[in-house]
């Protein structure tokens, strides 16, 4: 059975914590507070309990306390300090009184009367033969005296009761006219003859007359003989070890002996074979393991049964379902979902939450909480003549205004600037302007700030006619110039490419020369200037304009085809005569002739050209001038390209006879 009641306190900062089985209030934040099954919001305390039908509450620091109780609550013991106390059930008043100290309230069907008959309700006690006995549990048959008192109270009589002190009542403290019926404040009870008997006595029970306590030789199990021979059970949290009451284990609320808990305290509510275990919130105990509750469930007793859902969800058929939009807490009843509290930014309208319109927190669609107006609205105080108090409305600022008073804008929205308390649209040349002053913060693309800075921006080309693109900082700096120009590092304005460059040969952003002027070439470290071709290589006549290469050398030299692409001397077989661009031999030194392909970097020796040639033409022409002596001729065919007239004369001089 789920026990639930709600308390409304007139105190601003109170923590409610379990101290053992007592719910106690604290004015300051308490460390290690056990607030299990306690929810305190909006000055309302909700307490959820298991099968407990008895509640013990203490709070001596509040002036008023209101309690809603369920029908199945049996009793409340409460300790207050001159506190106005209201106890209700289903909006019907049960108790309305001022409690100076402690009170015990016992509830039953007779006592839970309608609100038209609440005057008959008394707090605790019973009616014995027409005489009301406070703190009494049962009456003597047919008599006005009490037979047995509540725990903590003892039989007593009052000599001023109007019956010569013969009516047995109950008390824990005596006045000057009251006396203990059994001679002391103990747990004796009375028999039908008003004689004192020891409660829970097993054997050796001897009755005591008025003013004398009863005695007992042996108490019942779990009880010990304490305090003038009356039986007293060990207090909660202790067990009797045969000699004394000793503490149970710290997790036990009650126990039979050290290793056998019969009930667990609120922190360790799961009893498994006499040992107490604790599961964290959102977990349930199953045999000897804590398992996670289903999603969105804050408290469950099994995998399939959720008892309490987390905020934002309601319970239906033991499962949790999300609350409607804006609901912080809600519940399901008779096919309908009802919102109880709303999230910030929503207000409760009957049983649904609606979004605040012009403010962050509100009471209704027209009434806002002070200091919560949304951006673009200002707060206006309005007097409520129906309920006689001031309330607040949020009124829209003028166009473009982010924060304002009733007649003046203080800060503008993006795209507007403040001028004489009015928000003005930023000019087209400015993409972002100050919301509090007439000053541009960011210009449109290809615009720069004016000098001095104003709300307007200048077109990049009006700042510098040769500028193509301005710096992204919107400062008066050119980033890229028109062809033939580049930005100066000192003035940030466009200047012409270097004279060593072709007119449009430099990079328009860095100024680095990419195409040099005639007789110039790229320097070893590229920069805005080119170097003279002759500075690159003194033997070079012309260089490439875009690459550090010689493409034509002086006489007797030709360009290298691999790095560093400088001039190298013609091969010595060329007689220092070769093509100045490609290095092909154009003549040969004495004793050499040009090769047949005529595109060779070297000349061929005369003997390689004709083995029997003595001397070749001096200009490298493939022509034999004189031949070797005939006796030196090898036995082989003769070269066909030997000058025929010279060859015939030799044969004739030799008078050669074939087959001789």
Is residue 34's pLDDT more than 80? no
Cα–Cα distance between 284 and 299 in angstroms, integer?
Answer: 8
Q: Which residue has the tokens 């050119």?
A: 478
Mean pLDDT of 226-235: 64
The confidence score (pLDDT) of residue 21 equals 64
For residues 642 and 81, give the distance between their C-alpha atoms in angstroms, rounded to a whole number: 145
pLDDT value of residue 204: 85
Enumerate the β-bridge partners of residue 509.
none
In this predicted structure, which of 32-46, 54-68, 195-209, 513-527 has the lowest mean pLDDT? Answer: 32-46
Q: Name the pLDDT band for 648 (thresholds 50, 70, 90).
A: very low
Residue 14 is given by DSSP the state -
User: Which pLDDT score, from 0 to 100, does residue 404 have?
Assistant: 93
pLDDT at 538 over 80: yes
Beta bridge partners of 308: 299
pLDDT above 60 (res 639):
no
Q: Distance between CA atoms of 430 and 474, rounded to whole angstroms? A: 10
pLDDT per position as a tens digit, 319-332: 999 999 999 999 99
Contact in structure between 362 and 347 (CB atoms under 8 Å) = yes
**What's phi and psi for 253, nearest 5 deg?**
-90, -45
Strands 169-171 and 154-158: antiparallel
What is the tally of helices (H) and strands (E) in the chain? 4, 64
462 pLDDT more than 90: no
Share of the chain above pLDDT 70, in %: 82
Specify the pLDDT at position 54: 61
pLDDT of amino acid 634 = 46
pLDDT of residue 47: 59
Tokens read off for 31: 């460390």
pLDDT of residue 2: 39
Highest-scoring range by mean pLDDT, 323-332, 462-471, 612-621: 323-332
pLDDT at 39: 66
The pTM of this model reads 0.38
Mean pLDDT over the full length of the chain: 81
CA distance 292 to 417: 56
Strand partners, 378: 395
Res. 640 pLDDT band, cuts 50 70 90: very low
Which of 29-38, 153-162, 217-226, 351-360 is the least confident region? 217-226
Question: pLDDT confidence of 269, banded at 50, 70, 90?
Answer: low
Tokens 């977990």: give the residue.
283
Provide the pLDDT for residue 649: 32
pLDDT tops 50 at residue 484 = yes
* Pick from 57-66, 118-127, 404-413, 419-428: least confident: 118-127
pLDDT at 44 over 70: no
Asked whether residue 226 carries a pLDDT value surpassing 90, the answer given is no
Tell me which DSSP letter residue 17 carries.
E
Residue 652: pLDDT band by 50, 70, 90 thresholds? very low
Backbone angles phi, psi at 194, to 5 degrees: 65, 25
Lowest-confidence range among 6-10, 63-67, 449-453, 509-513? 6-10
Contact 515, 546 (CB under 8 A): yes
The stretch 60-78 carries a mean pLDDT of 72
Q: How confident is the model at residue 646 (pLDDT cuts 50, 70, 90)?
A: very low
Q: Tell me what the mean pLDDT of segment 220-236 comes to.
A: 66
pLDDT for residue 3: 45
| Whole-angstrom distance, CA of residue 476 vs CA of residue 450 | 8
- The answer to whether 447 and 457 have CB atoms below 8 angstroms apart is yes
The pLDDT confidence band at residue 28, using thresholds 50, 70 and 90, is confident
Could you read off the pLDDT of 378-411 as tens digits, one per residue? 999 999 888 788 999 999 999 999 999 988 999 9
Task: Examine the pLDDT at 500 and tell me if it is beyond 50.
Answer: yes
- What number of other Cβ atoms are within 10 A of residue 19's Cβ? 14
Q: State residue 353's pLDDT score.
A: 95
Integer Cα distance of 353 and 346 in angstroms:
6
Residue 1's pLDDT is what? 37
Residue 558: pLDDT band (50, 70, 90) is very high
Residue, of 196 and 54, whose pLDDT is higher: 196
628 vs 475, 603, 635, 642, 645, CA distance in Å?
Answer: 89, 21, 14, 11, 14
pLDDT at 619 (0 to 100): 83
Lowest mean pLDDT among 34-48, 173-187, 227-241: 34-48
Please compute the mean of the pLDDT values over residues 501-523 and round it to a whole number.
92
Q: Which pLDDT score is estimated for 377? A: 94
The answer for residues whose C-beta is within 8 angstroms of residue 21's C-beta and 6 or more apart is: 56, 236, 253, 265, 266
Inform me whether the pLDDT recorded for 349 exceeds 70: yes
Closest C-alpha to 445, from 493, 489, 492, 480: 480
The residue behind tokens 């921006």 is: 457
Residue 607 has pLDDT above 80, yes or no: yes
Which one is predicted more confidently, 215 or 391? 391
Give the pLDDT score at 6. Answer: 44
Give residues with Cβ within 8 angstroms of 269, minimum separation 6. 50, 276, 278, 285
């Amino acid at each position: 059975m789920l026990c639930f009641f709600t308390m409304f306190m007139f105190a601003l900062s109170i923590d409610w914590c379990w101290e053992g089985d007592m719910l106690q209030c604290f004015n300051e934040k308490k460390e290690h507070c056990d607030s299990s099954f306690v929810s305190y919001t909006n000055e309302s305390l909700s307490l959820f309990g298991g099968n407990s039908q008895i509640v013990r509450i203490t709070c001596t620091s509040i002036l008023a306390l209101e309690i809603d109780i369920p029908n199945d609550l049996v009793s409340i013991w409460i300790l207050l300090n001159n506190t106005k106390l209201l106890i209700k059930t289903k909006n019907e008043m049960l108790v309305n009184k001022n409690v100076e100290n402690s009170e015990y309230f016992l509830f039953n069907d007779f006592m839970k009367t309608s609100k038209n008959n609440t005057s008959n309700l008394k707090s605790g006690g019973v009616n014995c033969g027409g005489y009301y006995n406070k703190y009494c549990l049962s009456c003597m048959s047919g008599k006005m005296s009490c037979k047995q008192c509540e725990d903590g109270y003892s039989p007593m009589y009052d000599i001023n009761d109007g019956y010569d002190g013969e009516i047995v009542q109950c008390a824990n403290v005596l006045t000057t006219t009251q006396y203990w019926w059994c001679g002391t404040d103990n747990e004796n009870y009375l028999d039908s003859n008003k004689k004192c008997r020891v409660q829970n006595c097993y054997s050796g029970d001897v009755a005591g007359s008025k003013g004398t306590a009863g005695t007992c030789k042996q108490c019942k199990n779990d009880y010990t003989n304490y305090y003038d021979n009356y039986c007293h059970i060990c207090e909660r949290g202790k067990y009797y070890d045969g000699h004394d009451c000793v503490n149970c284990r710290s997790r036990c609320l009650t126990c039979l002996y050290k290793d056998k808990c019969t009930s667990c305290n609120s922190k360790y509510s799961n009893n498994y074979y006499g040992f107490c275990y604790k599961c964290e919130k959102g977990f349930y105990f199953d045999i000897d393991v804590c398992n996670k509750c289903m999603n969105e469930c804050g408290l469950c007793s099994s995998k399939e049964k959720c008892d309490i859902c987390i905020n934002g969800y309601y319970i239906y058929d033991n499962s949790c379902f999300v609350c409607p939009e804006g609901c912080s807490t809600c519940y399901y009843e008779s096919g309908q979902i009802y919102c109880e509290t709303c999230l910030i930014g929503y207000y409760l309208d009957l049983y649904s939450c609606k979004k605040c319109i012009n403010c962050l927190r509100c009471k209704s669609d027209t009434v806002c909480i002070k200091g919560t107006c949304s951006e673009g609205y200002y707060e206006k105080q309005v007097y409520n003549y129906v309920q006689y108090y001031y309330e607040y409305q949020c009124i829209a600022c003028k166009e473009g205004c982010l924060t304002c008073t009733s007649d003046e804008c203080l800060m503008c929205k993006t795209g507007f600037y403040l001028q004489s308390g009015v928000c003005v649209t930023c000019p087209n040349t400015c993409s972002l302007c100050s919301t509090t002053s007439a000053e541009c913060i960011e210009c449109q693309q290809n615009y720069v700030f004016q000098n001095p800075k104003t709300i307007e921006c200048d077109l990049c080309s009006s700042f510098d006619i040769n500028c193509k693109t301005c710096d992204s900082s919107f400062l008066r700096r050119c980033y890229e110039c028109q062809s033939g120009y580049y930005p100066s590092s000192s003035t940030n304005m466009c200047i012409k490419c270097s004279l060593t460059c072709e007119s449009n040969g430099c990079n328009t952003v860095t100024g680095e020369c990419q195409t040099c002027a005639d007789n110039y070439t790229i320097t070893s470290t590229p920069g805005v200037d080119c170097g003279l071709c002759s500075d690159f290589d003194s033997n070079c006549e012309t260089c490439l304009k875009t690459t550090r290469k010689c493409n034509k050398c002086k006489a007797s030299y030709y360009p290298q085809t691999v790095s560093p692409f400088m001039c190298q001397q013609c091969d010595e077989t060329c007689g220092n005569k070769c093509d100045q661009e490609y290095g092909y031999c154009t003549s040969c030194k004495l004793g050499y002739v040009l090769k047949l392909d005529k595109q060779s970097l070297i000349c061929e020796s005369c003997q390689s050209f004709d083995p029997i040639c003595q001397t070749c033409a001096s200009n490298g022409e493939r022509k034999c001038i004189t031949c070797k002596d005939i006796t030196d001729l090898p036995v082989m065919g003769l070269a066909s390209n030997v000058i025929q007239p010279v060859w015939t004369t030799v044969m004739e001089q030799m008078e050669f006879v074939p087959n001789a």
